[in-house]
Structure 1
C-alpha cells in the first residue's frame, strides 16, 4: 500500500495560537479556566485541555462572575464581549487574527451603508460572531441557490464577506452569482478564506486524483475538514472523515492500493501518525508526501498570556 500524504495538513497558525493561549491560561490563572465553546473544532484537543483543567461551556451564563474565560478561535459577537465586561470576567481572546479581519470588514462595510452578504453556514460559531457585528445590515447566504432569493434595500450598495473555512471553488461560484445579480458588488481587499484552508484544499487536490481513497482526519464539526472530504469527492475519489485511527473501516481499504491522507487545520499531527501506524498493521506501507506549500506564518499571543 502507498499513502500519499498531503502537505500542508493538521494544525494551522491560528489553531496553534488558540491552544497555546489556553495552555498558558491554565498555567497562570486560578483554576478552573473556562472556555466559551470548543477552543477549536476537534474532540481530541478539547479532551486533552479538559484533562488539564479547562472547563468548556456553551454560554457565559455558565461562567461564575469574575472568573477567567477564553474566547474560542472562531470569534464572538460584540454582545458577548459586552456581557463578559458587565460580569467582570477576566477575558482572554483566542480569536484567530484572520477571523478578526473579517469582523473588521463587516463593521467597515456596514458603516458605509452597505448591505453585507456573508457567505457561510448557518449555526457555525464563526458565522454567528461575524453576523453579530452588524446584525441589521448583514444577511447570510450558503450557496448559489440562496443568491437568487436575496432581497436588498439598495442593489448598488452591496458588499460580501465569507466564512474563512469554506471551499474556495464553491465560494467562487457564489461570488460570481452575487456579482451577476449586483454588478456594483464590493468585497474585501484580500480573500477571507484563510491561507491554511486554501493550502489544505490544494494539497488534497494534489493527492486525490492519484488515490483510490482519501482519508481526512478531523472532527465532524470541523468545517475545513468537511470541505476537504467534499473536495475529494467532487474530484471523483471516495473520501471519508475520521476522528482518529479508530474510525478506519476495513471495507474502505479493501482493494485500495493508494490511499490519500490529510487532516483538517484543527486536527493534531499525532493523529495522522496513528492512522499511518494503523495502516501499517495491515501490511507494508510506503509513505510519499506531496507538498504544495510551506507554512511559516505565526501569530503573536495576546498580552494577557505573553511571556
Structure 2
C-alpha cells in the first residue's frame, strides 16, 4: 500500500499588529450596543467599516445599511460610519428630530478639527486623499464647498494653484500609504515652504503600524496574503506596501478566495489583515493553508497597540 505523500512545509509569518484597530472596534460596538438598547432595526449610513463579513454579521443582528439619510425613517436610530460624514448629515438628522449616534473614528474627527482650525485662520486647505472615499467626502464636507482642494498624487501638487502660496495648509486621509504620502508632503513643502502641517501625523497609528508590520515580513515572504475587502483603503495599501517590499501580494476577502496556484514553490507566506478585518478570517486562512501544507506559524511583532476609544455616553452604561 502506498503511503500518503508528506505535505510540503510552509512557514507562515503572521504580521502583528493586524486586523481591528481601536476606531473600527468602537464603531462595531456602537452598532451592536444600539441594537441591544433600541432593538432592531438600527439604520447605519454607509458601511460601518469596509468589510463584507462585518457588515453581513451586523445585518443578521438587525442593522440596515443605507447610503443616504433620506433612506432612514425618522423614528429609528441611525449610526454614522467610522469614516465620518459631512456636517450636513447630522444637521439633517437634527432637523428631522432623529436619534443619531456618531461612530466617526476619533482620529478622523481630529482631522476635521484641524481643517476647521485652518479655515478659521484664513488658510487655503489641501487634503491629501483618494477622491470619492467616504472619509474624504466627510472631511471636505466639514467646510463650505470649494474651500478644500484634493490632492491625490505628486503630479497634482504641480498643478495646484492657491490664491496665496504663502498661506496654505494640508491635512490627510488617515488610511493612506505612509510612503506615498511622504512623497506628496515633500513636494508640497518644496513648492510652499511655509505650508502649515498637522501638529501630529494625520495618518493614524493603526495604518502606520500595519504597514510597518507588513514591511517586517514582506521581504522574507515569497507571497503575502492580505485579508480585507477591496473597498477598504487601508487593506489595499497593505497589499501595495507588500509588493513594494518584494513580495507577490494578494488582497482576499477570506480563505475561500485563496488560489493555491499563487503558492506554487512558496516556502514562506506572510499573512496580515486590514484594520477592518476580523481575526476570525486570519484563523480561517491559516486553517485553509493547513489543509494542504504542514504549517509553522511565526508571529512577527512590529509594534504593540494599547489604544482604546470610549463609546458615546448614551451607550456606555
Structure 2 CA distance, aligned partners of 1:108 and 1:12? 27
Match of 1:78 among 74, 87, 91: 87
String of CA shifts for 1:216-246, please: whole Å, max 9, x gaps. 0000000000000001111221100000000
Aligned residues: 307
Aligned twin of 2:225: 215
Match of 2:98 among 89, 95, 107: 89
Aligned twin of 1:230: 240
Is the contact between residue 66 and residue 87 of structure 1 (CA under 8 Å) also seen in structure 2? no
Alignment RMSD: 0.7
Is the contact between residue 114 and residue 137 of structure 1 (CA under 8 Å) also seen in structure 2? no
Aligned twin of 2:160: 150
Structure 1 CA distance, aligned partners of 2:304 and 2:80? 29
String of CA shifts for 1:133-190, please: whole Å, max 9, x gaps. 1233210000101111101111010000000000111100000000111111011100
Structure 1, unpaired ranges of 5+: none
* Counterparts of residues 51-62 of structure 1 (less than 5 Å): 51-62=60-71
Match of 1:271 among 270, 281, 295: 281
Aligned twin of 1:19: 28
Is the contact between residue 23 and residue 49 of structure 1 (CA under 8 Å) also seen in structure 2? yes
Match of 2:178 among 142, 161, 168: 168
String of CA shifts for 1:225-275, please: whole Å, max 9, x gaps. 000000111122110000000010021011111000000000000100000
Aligned twin of 2:58: 49
Structure 1 CA distance, aligned partners of 2:293 and 2:207? 32
TM-score (norm 2): 0.96
Per the TM alignment, residue 31 of structure 1 is displaced from its structure 2 partner at its CA by 2.2
Structure 1 CA distance, aligned partners of 2:173 and 2:308? 21
Matched, 1:295 2:305: yes
Greater gyration radius: 2
* Counterparts of residues 251-262 of structure 1 (less than 5 Å): 251-262=261-272
Per the TM alignment, residue 30 of structure 1 is displaced from its structure 2 partner at its CA by 3.5
Spell out structure 1 runs of 4+ moving beyond 2 A.
Answer: none
Structure 1 CA distance, aligned partners of 2:273 and 2:170? 29
TM-score (norm 1): 0.99
Aligned twin of 2:5: none
SS in 1 for 2:294: coil
Matched, 1:28 2:37: yes
Structure 1 CA distance, aligned partners of 2:178 and 2:103? 25
Per the TM alignment, residue 283 of structure 1 is displaced from its structure 2 partner at its CA by 2.1
Aligned twin of 2:6: none
Structure 1 CA distance, aligned partners of 2:111 and 2:139? 7
Structure 1 CA distance, aligned partners of 2:91 and 2:164? 31
Structure 2, unpaired ranges of 5+: 1-9
SS in 2 for 1:285: strand
Aligned twin of 1:129: 138
